Amino acid sequence: MRLVGKTALVTGAATGIGEAIVRRFRDEGAEVIAAGLQPELLAELARQTGARAVHCDVTKESDVRRAVEQAQALGRLNIVVNAAGVIQTDDVAEIEDFVWERTLAVNLTGTMRVCRAAIPQMQCQGGGAIVNIASVAAFNASIGQGSYAPSKAGLVALTRSIANRYGADAIRANCLCPGWVRTPMSEMEMREIGDAKGIGVEAAFDELKTRIALKRIGLPAEMAACALFLVSDDASFVTGAVLVADGGARTAAAARAN
């Protein structure tokens, strides 16, 4: 129960890593505002966990303000986790402007918008913790990540900028960079890869496992555990950090083996 008495805002909360973070934070005693775009999924998550569901499109300032106000109504906003994200396969020579703009609008600008709304509240109350969910694509962009990888690299830089500027206000900001995790988003990617190779989703995941040191795909709950550490008092001297959780997919040994 490491988060008793704390209030957290989690974006991208309807599925995947965001959903797992809501569940873990509630288990640890936090009041949680679960913000996202899928009302039925959010309502069911709220019913199961006791979190408070709120519609939030991070590309809209009014939605972001409303989500932050929901947290403020509980008295404090101690924790923000930005897990909202989108991905679409593209490469630089073929990127369409609307895809590039949408990807950055959600993954990077949307995160900035949430942080911009939350930081003044954290300053007034004497501190807080922010975790931005980026990706290992920020450092090792694969083919087809022409817009996604830059959006996540920018997120790492944004997080470090926040950490440096607002550390004196006792606001910590860290980045969690997952590798392959079994989520609806990764299943969509594996479906595209499988279709190109003439194999199914599970076979595509099996091929992927051979490139990971731990020989398996990560679980959303494992990413939630990483986020819990970063927002907890156990990480009280950790800010501006990048926690890579990819099962060793980008270790030197794994790179040599493939």
Active site residues: 148
CB distance 248 to 217 below 8 Å: no
Give strand pairing partners of 8.
32, 79
Instruction: Tell me the C-alpha to C-alpha distance, in Å, between residue 71 and each of 8, 23, 182, 210.
Output: 7, 17, 29, 43
Task: Decide: helix, strand or coil at residue 136.
Answer: helix
Exposed, middle or buried, 84 (CB in 10 Å: 0-12/13-18/19+)? buried
Name the H helices within 6-134.
Answer: 16-27, 39-49, 61-72, 97-104, 110-125
Reduce the DSSP state of residue 55 to 3 states and report it. strand
Give residues with Cβ within 8 angstroms of 27, minimum separation 6. none
Exposure string for 129-148, b = 16+ CB within 10 A, e = fewer: bbbbbbbbbbbebeebbbbb
DSSP at 121: H
